[in-house]
Structure 1
Amino acid sequence: MRQNPARRAALLDGAIEVLARDGARGLTLRAVDKEAAVPIGTASNYFRNRDDLLVQAGARVYEQLRPEEGAITEMFDQALDAASYGAMLRGSVDRVSAFRSGYLALLELRLEATRRPELRTLLTERVRSDIDENVARHEAAGLPGGATAVLLMYLAMNWLVVEQLTLPDVLTDAERDELVAQAVERIVGPFPTTAE
């Protein structure tokens, strides 16, 4: 059977919305059909089973979370000191938080990955690849702190996003901004001074 890439994307986007709203237990092929506003049975033509749907939804979340290559390069090119590095991180937190359903779906997928080896493999490979890319870009840009700093910032910023999306009233915007600034100062360390 020939498949329509636009319809597949719409079904995966529907799966992301169902995961974010109803959790992994609510994700069924029928629920995805309903969310995507397609005839019942359509999702079963695109996904072998629920596991296949989960794995492909995981890949789709990352596809949507990743900025364009030019934007990534520009972010690192502009991170010249602690303030601009902090601005880059706040921008990343804001960008990820803006895709609320995607990040909440990703949290559901991570929990589901503890029970589904194929999904765990996909998420592990994707996260490791992202970390390795961030370390390489960080080092290529000549930023201080090295791989350990990148890993610590990754962990800190991810939990900041979780906090912002799940309990948004725990921290004020000013507190979040200050936490990012303090994390840069304490984890990444001093930036080299530039010659004037």
Structure 2
Amino acid sequence: MRTNPERRQALIDAAIEVLAKEGARGLTFRAVDKEAGVPAGTASNYFTNRDDLLTQAGSRFYERLQPSEATMTKLAEGPRTRANITELMMEVVGRIEAFRTGYLAILELRLEATRRPELRAILTERVRADIEFNVRNHLDSGMPGDEKSVLLLYLALNWLIVDRLTLPDIFTDEQSRELIAAAVERIVGDQD
């Protein structure tokens, strides 16, 4: 196996693009090589098999979606208000929408995980860790709301994101902002 980290990352990023464009069935080493603009056979030198590539693409999605330092500072040091939570939720949705192909790829990986127990186990562990991270940060920050608030926002916003990325004409930008604000208001309540 090759160990050039920059090349490996470029191949994984290319795999994300292939997943978003062609779906899991279209994810082949040849398709990844073509998307990455590297010689045929390159991906097979970096990944033991297709499952390895699928798994690493899932991990890479979460790496690329990490919140910025400014967002984490706003969570830790910003006002402890429902309005701040609304701003943070809008930032999350915006960050995910900006990485559209990544989110579409993770949807493909989730579907593929229904057929691949190893991939399902890895994605379950990763998503669970992400949820626990969000709950812990929310509670530690002293923001209004509790663990259930974070979980309900996670569920509500994920489906809004699916609609925004797969059927973008359902909700306008303004409607999306209004829905995010309403979700925070109803889920968090009057705990300012």
Normalization by structure 2: what TM-score? 0.95
Alignment partners' CA distance in 1, 2:153 and 2:139: 14
**1:51-90 CA distances to partner (integer Å, 9 max, x unpaired)?**
111001111111111124x334213132522222111101
**Is 1:15 aligned to residue 15 of structure 2?**
yes
Match of 1:172, as an amino acid? T
Alignment partners' CA distance in 2, 1:33 and 1:48: 15
Q: Which residue of 2 aligns with 1:146?
A: 146
| Structure 1 residue runs without a partner (length 5+) | none
| Structure 2 residue runs without a partner (length 5+) | none
Q: What's the CA shift for 1:7?
A: 0.5
Aligned residues: CA RMSD: 1.2
Alignment partners' CA distance in 1, 2:169 and 2:137: 33
Q: Which residue of 2 aligns with 1:126?
A: 126
1:79–1:85 contact (8 Å) kept in structure 2: no
Partner of 1:169: helix, strand, or coil?
coil
Runs of 4+ in 1 over 3 A off after TM superposition: none
Match of 1:71, as an amino acid? A
Instruction: Using the aligned pairs only, state the percent identity.
Output: 61
Normalization by structure 1: what TM-score? 0.93
**1:18-71 CA distances to partner (integer Å, 9 max, x unpaired)?**
000000010001100111011100100001111111001111111111124x33
Q: Flag the 1:71–1:119 CA change in 2: closer, same or farther, 3 A.
A: farther
1:139–1:146 contact (8 Å) kept in structure 2: yes
Q: Which residue of 1 aligns with 2:51?
A: 51
Partner of 2:169: helix, strand, or coil?
coil
